[in-house]
Homo-oligomer: A and B are copies of this chain.
Amino acid sequence: MTTTDEILASAPQRSEQLATPELTATPQRKLAVLTCMDARLDPLRMLGLRVGEAHILRNAGALATDDAIRSLSVSQRLLGTQEVLVIMHEQCGLLNASEDDFKAALAESGVLPSWRLGAFDDLEATLAASVARLRASRELPFRETVRGLIYDPDTGALREPSP
């Protein structure tokens, strides 16, 4: 039995508690959060937010990719959010990963990717670059609100690096 099979088998037990017929697609706190896919992050608990209050975007590294800009554009232009928070974290799987090794591994599978892995060495500098990219993205009407934070899964602490 796969994890997916287990999830489906137990889903009916959870549905009543999950149902939110009182909510719409519009986030109540007009906030969009871009963070990492890391399994240790539980964004709503991390931020003290409730279901329905914010869009949560997640990719490998919390990087401001084209797809993140697409999603944030949908968030601001179609669904009314007006504030953006980018949250990277300590001990990220992309920290000190090797673009070259990754490219070589993909080549062995017969793939020449059009994208970079997104590996980085300096957490704060990478966060600053993502924030800068979003602030310069005219796709986003509320681009000037973008701020960046760093989370530490070992301690649960959240901090804003000094600019």
User: How many residues of chain A have a CB within 8 Å of chain B?
Assistant: 95
Question: In the assembly, what is the distance between CA of A160 and CA of B7, in Å?
Answer: 11
Q: Which residue from B19, B23, B26, B138 sits with its C-beta under 8 Å from A111?
A: B138
Instruction: Count the copies.
Output: 2
Taking A29-B3, A91-B25, A145-B2 as contacts, is the C-beta distance between A139 and B111 under 8 angstroms?
A: yes
For chain A, residues 5 to 52, give those with C-beta under 8 angstroms from any C-beta of chain B.
Answer: 7-8, 10-21, 23-32, 37-42, 44-49, 51-52
Can you list 23 contacts pairing A with B, beta carbon distance less than 8 Å?
A4-B83, A7-B49, A8-B160, A10-B48, A14-B45, A14-B156, A15-B155, A15-B157, A18-B153, A18-B156, A27-B39, A32-B37, A37-B56, A39-B51, A57-B58, A57-B60, A58-B58, A66-B67, A70-B113, A73-B117, A106-B139, A109-B138, A113-B139
